[in-house]
């Protein structure tokens, strides 16, 4: 697979909190069960009738069965842990040639219920994935056949030539243009003059090319006059 064993691990195992309390709780239950077992053996009705003896044996077997079941459930939960994955380290472990091709489908049907703004931002965020571009394909399925979505995506295709390099260069998160500038501060997040220049330029174009198409009509904006 072209892996690199010298890279950082892909996940980290950490013990969960409250293990001591859980183990103390289990210990108290175990002591109680032990007393019940001693009671069943110590006070067996030797002089009782056969009915009493078989009833006692049946109860003892049932309690023994539930004790074994309880022990099995406790063993698997005795030392609980949580695993935290680091997906960003996959690119360090495997080279681009080892990664499989990925196809992403975006489905839409109604431009009113699913505005072009939302569709465009979804497509752009997927195109900006940290994945080899030659192995990533994004498809749009528009069951409604909306002209507005079609021409808005044409506009987004031109904007992607600036947005995708911006995402890969500065590793911005989230990678949806509208979501990024909605959560980002008013000023650029860095004092780097190059990033500030690109940040202001991209922010100005987001309002024009990504958020604005839903406010314009297809006839007045996308088609030439007289068509």
Q: What is the pLDDT of residue 215?
A: 45
pLDDT at 3: 52
Per-residue pLDDT of the chain (227 residues; tens, 9 = 90+): 445 556 788 889 988 888 888 889 899 999 998 888 888 888 777 776 778 788 888 888 888 899 999 999 988 888 888 899 887 777 777 777 777 889 999 999 988 888 888 898 999 999 998 888 889 999 999 998 888 888 888 888 888 888 888 888 888 888 888 888 887 656 566 656 667 777 777 777 766 655 544 444 443 444 444 44
| Nearest alpha carbon to residue 141 among 133, 132, 130, 153 | 153
Task: Write down the pLDDT at residue 4.
Answer: 56
Note whether 15 and 81 are within 8 A (CB). yes
Q: Which residues belong to the annotated binding site?
A: 114, 143
* Cα–Cα distance for residue pair 227/214, rounded to 1 Å: 21
Q: Cite the annotated binding site for UDP-alpha-D-glucose by residue number.
A: 114, 143
The ranges assigned to domains in the chain are: 17-79, 100-221
Calpha distance 96→198 (Å, rounded): 28
């Amino acid at each position: 697979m072209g892996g690199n064993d010298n890279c950082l691990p892909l996940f980290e195992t950490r013990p969960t909190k409250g293990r001591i309390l859980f183990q103390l709780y289990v210990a108290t239950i175990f002591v109680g069960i032990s007393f019940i077992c001693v009671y069943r053996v110590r006070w067996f009705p030797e002089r009782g009738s056969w009915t009493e003896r078989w009833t006692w044996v049946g109860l003892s077997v049932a309690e023994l069965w539930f004790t074994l079941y309880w022990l099995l459930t406790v063993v698997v939960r005795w030392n609980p842990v949580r695993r935290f994955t680091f997906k960003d380290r996959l690119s360090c472990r495997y080279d681009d040639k080892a990664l499989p091709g990925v196809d992403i489908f975006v489905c839409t049907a109604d431009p009113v219920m699913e505005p072009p703004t939302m569709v465009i931002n979804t497509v752009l965020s997927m195109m900006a994935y940290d994945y080899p571009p030659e192995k990533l394909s994004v498809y749009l399925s528009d069951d409604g056949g909306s002209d507005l979505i079609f021409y808005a995506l044409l506009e987004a295709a031109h904007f992607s030539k600036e947005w995708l390099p911006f995402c890969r260069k500065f590793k911005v998160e989230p990678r949806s243009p509208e979501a990024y500038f909605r959560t980002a501060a008013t000023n650029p997040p860095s004092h780097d003059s190059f990033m500030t220049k690109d940040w202001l330029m991209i922010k100005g174009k987001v309002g024009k090319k990504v958020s604005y198409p839903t406010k314009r009509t297809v006839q007045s904006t996308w088609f030439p006059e007289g068509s």
